[in-house]
Amino acid sequence: MSQQISSIPLIKKVCKTTLQFFKNNPALFLPFIIFAAVESIALILCYFAPRTPLIFIFGPIIRTFWGERFLHYPFNFFLLPKLTSLSRFALSTIFGSLLTGMAVAIAFDIYNKKEVNLKASFKSAAKKYIDLFTIVFIFSALFYFLVKIIAEGLLQYFLAGHSKLLFLKPALWMGPILLCINFIIALFIQSAFIYAIPLLIIGKEKLIHSITGSFRLFFKKLLIPTLILVGLPMLIYIPIVLLNYNPAILIDKFFPEFILVVLFLGIVISSLIIDPIVTISTASLYLISEQK
């Protein structure tokens, strides 16, 4: 309890610093705007995947993994959230890692009252691209496989004939409980890896030391403030997760194209609100904690 109380002034200082960063240096938004644009293009490509000429590229893939019907209206909209989720995984690893490194480099210059040089910040991140790629790939893959294993384990448990687990029915486990489990997994994995990029870009650490150093910072020194700074912004995305959870309900109550609207809204919330807040606030926390 004392650790939580002592964290409050630190969190206030971090929030104030982060707000000043964005207010005084709008260029800090640029890496996140670029990623949002790339993600939007990917969503448009996924939307047009069943149409000529993209069907010649994506058609065989969709037929192989999901079936022919998902190339036809309105079933293509049932698949759209999954396709955009997979594309975000790929884009976050390939492009997001580099742009996050660039954003952290910009924040470091701002914190040290240096003139922001976007070209220099990009070069600083580009030099560490392989390491940035590896960090983002590891924690993204770890989250993806843990979520997949838990979901598949629950499904197999109930398919084996069990009617309840811990006195709760399958509908609860495969619905709200699974969503809560996924949220907790995402929160802890992202929090554990969150300082790896600042350590890599700002601390000039090597790849392995960046990851292990991030674990040490999170679990030993900055557990509560990190969970708060990462977890609170993530809560904003919950309505999008709920809307995407069962596309059939959206199609039944509204119209198939409404899913496209929800997915675009998800890009705005995740890439232009949550990602900037989490990335820069935790980078600020790292910088402030290093001075103590």
Alpha-carbon dihedral angle through residues 272, 278, 284, 285, given to the nearest 10 degrees: 170
- 65 in a domain, yes or no? no
Token representation of residue 100: 């996050």
Mean pLDDT of the chain: 92
- 100 in a domain, yes or no? yes
The helix (H) or strand (E) run that includes residue 224 is helix 223-235
Q: Decide: helix, strand or coil at residue 168.
A: strand
Q: Give CA–CA dist 18/175, Å, rounded.
A: 35
Q: Is the pLDDT of residue 105 over 90?
A: yes
pTM of the shown model? 0.91
- 16 in a domain, yes or no? yes
- 44 in a domain, yes or no? no
pLDDT of 3? 44
pLDDT of 260? 93
pLDDT of 291? 73
pLDDT of 48? 94
pLDDT of 242? 84
Q: Give CA–CA dist 98/115, Å, rounded.
A: 21
- 209 in a domain, yes or no? yes
The string of pLDDT tens digits covering residues 20-43 is 999 989 999 999 999 999 999 999
pLDDT of 272? 96
Domain count, the chain: 1
- 54 in a domain, yes or no? no
Q: Which residues pair with 165 in a beta bridge?
A: 168
Token representation of residue 26: 């709008």
Token representation of residue 25: 């240096």
Domain with 219 in it: 2-27+89-291
Q: pLDDT grade, residue 292 (50/70/90)? A: low
- 38 in a domain, yes or no? no
The string of pLDDT tens digits covering residues 162-221 is 888 888 898 888 888 999 999 999 999 999 999 999 999 999 999 999 999 999 999 999
Residue 1 DSSP class: -
The string of pLDDT tens digits covering residues 267-287 is 999 999 999 999 999 999 999
Q: pLDDT grade, residue 2 (50/70/90)? A: very low
Q: pLDDT grade, residue 45 (50/70/90)? A: very high
The string of pLDDT tens digits covering residues 47-88 is 999 999 999 999 999 999 999 999 998 889 999 999 999 999
Q: Give CA–CA dist 110/107, Å, rounded.
A: 5
Burial of 289 (0-12, 13-18, 19+ CB in 10 A): middle
- 33 in a domain, yes or no? no
The answer to whether the CB of 210 falls within 8 A of the CB of 199 is yes
Q: Give CA–CA dist 200/126, Å, rounded.
A: 12
Q: How many CB atoms lie within 10 A of CB 151?
A: 15
